[in-house]
Structure 1
Amino acid sequence: MTPRTRRRTAAGAIALALVALVACSDDDDATPQTAAQDASTDDGSATATTAATSEADTGAETTADGCPPIDGVTDPVRQFDSAPPMCIDVDATYQAIVGTNLGEFTIDLDPQAAPETTNNFVFLARNRYFDDTVCHRIIPGFVVQCGDPTATGTGDPGYRFADELPAAGEYQVGSIAMANSGPDTNGSQFFIITGDDGAALPPLYSLFGQVGSGFDDTVVEMEAAGTLEGIPASEVRIDSVTIVEP
């Protein structure tokens, strides 16, 4: 293989990997650039007040300010009328304990760098939004993408919120960032960067945390289920996400 061929092969692999952040969209006007960023298709805009609905009518479990209880609701809430209010203390420290069918890992969240994105993740986790959801897209050396209860790449919580983008070069292996369908279209889908191709992504995805523990065991095993096409060869499932303040 010549150096030129190797470069073409690598470029093709990266281009294919970028498609891993694409959610299937019903928007006929989607461009390749949009597709390369897509992980949410809801056209709703973010507002300040949240009214939650769920399959089990658990919205009543929210507190007076519209936030879920710190220890979480009883049954998963999958859809909301609008983006969440601010439910976290941006000066506090938050960690997510993610239980999967392949083991456990933790995420050190970053409310100082990404307060709205961290708040959204905590809000959804405490509403048990991520419980029993499948990571629908996995490409080895690139990303593990999760956070869609429908496992189709088109699922969202019923709202969108604005980007909190990092500087160029801030992504690294183990980074946690939001998938999106263009500027300010964040919802619930997120990805874990698992390799150098993912770390080389342009700063178009809100960065809100870093895997703390469990990368070499659990996340690597999750990644091993991936394929070049992004369709997992075996099920990778998030069983629960618990938010703690260590």
Structure 2
Amino acid sequence: MASEKRQRQRENRMRAIAEAERAKKRSATGRTVLRVVFVVAAVLIALWLWSVFSGDDAADSDSEIDEIDVEAPEAAAFETAEPSADTTSPRTDDEPVSTSPSADAADAVPSEIPEGCPALDGTSERVIDFDTRQPMCIDPAASYTAVFDTSEGEMRFELTAEATPETVNNFVTLARWGYYDETLLFRTDPSIHIIQGGSPHTNTASDPGPGYTIPDEPQFEVDPNTANPIGPYRYRPGQLVMARAAGFNSAGAQFFITTGTNAALLDSQGTYVVFGQTDDAGLTVAEAIIGLHEPGGSLGGAPSRPVTVHSVTIETDALGR
């Protein structure tokens, strides 16, 4: 019996030892698993952090590229908007006006308004007094039409910019300054078939003018008997003509419109520069105005009722001029 008892005790000790060994192994395995879990977790956390910070850097890089792409065109546009030397240098009387387009004219941005010139659409603040004559604001190779909006109707005059560039430039520029707005056609004279206007200060022939005079076109010859100028112009109905004083280069801003054949009586002088021609519709309006003639005064008379030039607007095919 004692022997069986010892045998059982031995077997129990062996089972206890075996169980202890198994428990030890399980504990070691558990620690290994935990270490693996910790390592994997650390790797995953590191990968996540790397992706986060790497993504922020990429976003910052894209933002900088976008900023450069936006600023570059703005800077280029600013550079191309700078006025060229040709548009700011003063024009001398003898300086030829270039009418030939540059090689890249088709692709060029329209040139800026030359310095000292009014807005092309007539929106500049009105000016009727000037220190010097107008700068060259037109392109003499282009076509210009002066549209007279009067209380008696509209008259359209095709201007002769190529033949008389100084005169047309002066008239177009004054019109864009609003010089002729709300002025009167203050004189009618059927004896020479003219209507006269262009005097914003006084609405009379004695108006002081814009403050300067313009050169004759062309330069006139001298009458050997009177020393007065002799010009080449001949006068027909429907013309837009510059008024002037007796001397050379004496025109300023006043103009007259020829309405009939009696205007040819001025041919012997020929010094009133013709710079525009109206059509049949415009001539009809001009004839109606001189039909209002009432004799009186030293200049022959005036319309029986006020005839107002509300505005003179300019139409052109010129680019930026």
Q: TM-score scaled to structure 1, two decimals?
A: 0.70
How many Å apart are 1:238 and its aligned residue?
Answer: 0.3
1:142 and 2:213 matched: no
Are residues 239 and 213 of structure 1, via their aligned partners in 2, closer, same or farther at CA, if it must alter by over 3 Å?
Answer: farther
Q: In the alignment, which of 71, 94, 100 is matched to residue 144 of structure 2?
A: 94
1:217 and 2:284 matched: yes
Q: How do 1:70-81 residues align onto structure 2 when only pairs under 5 Å count?
A: 70-81=120-131
Q: In the alignment, which of 123, 130, 136 is matched to residue 180 of structure 2?
A: 130
**What letter matches 1:109 in structure 2?**
L
Query: 1:162: which partner in 2?
Result: 215
Q: Indicate if the aligned counterparts of 2:176 and 2:314 stay in contact, CA closer than 8 A.
A: yes
Q: In the alignment, which of 244, 253, 257 is matched to residue 192 of structure 1?
A: 257
Q: Name the structure with the higher helix share.
A: 2
In the alignment, the residues of structure 1 paired with residue 143 and residue 117 of structure 2 have an alpha-carbon distance, to the nearest angstrom, of 18
**What letter matches 2:284 in structure 1?**
D
Are residues 81 and 198 of structure 1, via their aligned partners in 2, closer, same or farther at CA, if it must alter by over 3 Å?
Answer: same
Q: TM-score scaled to structure 2, two decimals?
A: 0.55
**What letter matches 2:150 in structure 1?**
T
In the alignment, the residues of structure 1 paired with residue 306 and residue 313 of structure 2 have an alpha-carbon distance, to the nearest angstrom, of 21
Are residues 48 and 132 of structure 1, via their aligned partners in 2, closer, same or farther at CA, if it must alter by over 3 Å?
Answer: farther
Query: 1:204: which partner in 2?
Result: 271
Q: Indicate if the aligned counterparts of 2:148 and 2:155 stay in contact, CA closer than 8 A.
A: yes
1:154 partner SS: coil
In the alignment, the residues of structure 2 paired with residue 73 and residue 83 of structure 1 have an alpha-carbon distance, to the nearest angstrom, of 20
Q: How do 1:1-246 residues align onto structure 2 when only pairs under 5 Å count?
A: 65-140=115-190, 142-149=193-200, 150-155=202-207, 156-165=209-218, 168=232, 170-182=234-246, 183-201=248-266, 202-228=269-295, 229-245=300-316
In the alignment, the residues of structure 1 paired with residue 240 and residue 283 of structure 2 have an alpha-carbon distance, to the nearest angstrom, of 15
How many Å apart are 1:164 and its aligned residue?
Answer: 1.4
Unaligned 5+ segments in structure 2 are 1-89, 93-111, 221-230
In the alignment, the residues of structure 1 paired with residue 292 and residue 167 of structure 2 have an alpha-carbon distance, to the nearest angstrom, of 27
**What letter matches 2:171 in structure 1?**
F
How many Å apart are 1:215 and its aligned residue?
Answer: 2.6
More off after superposition, 76-85 vs 168-177: 168-177
How many Å apart are 1:220 and its aligned residue?
Answer: 1.4
In the alignment, the residues of structure 1 paired with residue 150 and residue 290 of structure 2 have an alpha-carbon distance, to the nearest angstrom, of 13
Unaligned 5+ segments in structure 1 are 1-46, 50-61
Number of aligned residues: 188
Q: Indicate if the aligned counterparts of 2:238 and 2:259 stay in contact, CA closer than 8 A.
A: yes
How many Å apart are 1:63 and its aligned residue?
Answer: 5.2
In the alignment, the residues of structure 2 paired with residue 169 and residue 153 of structure 1 have an alpha-carbon distance, to the nearest angstrom, of 22
Q: Indicate if the aligned counterparts of 2:289 and 2:303 stay in contact, CA closer than 8 A.
A: no
In the alignment, the residues of structure 2 paired with residue 213 and residue 159 of structure 1 have an alpha-carbon distance, to the nearest angstrom, of 34
Q: Indicate if the aligned counterparts of 1:164 and 1:206 stay in contact, CA closer than 8 A.
A: yes
Relative contact order higher in (CA < 8 Å, ≥ 6 apart): 1
- Identical columns (%): 38
**What letter matches 1:127 in structure 2?**
W
In the alignment, the residues of structure 2 paired with residue 48 and residue 64 of structure 1 have an alpha-carbon distance, to the nearest angstrom, of 10
Q: Indicate if the aligned counterparts of 1:145 and 1:191 stay in contact, CA closer than 8 A.
A: yes
2:303 partner SS: coil
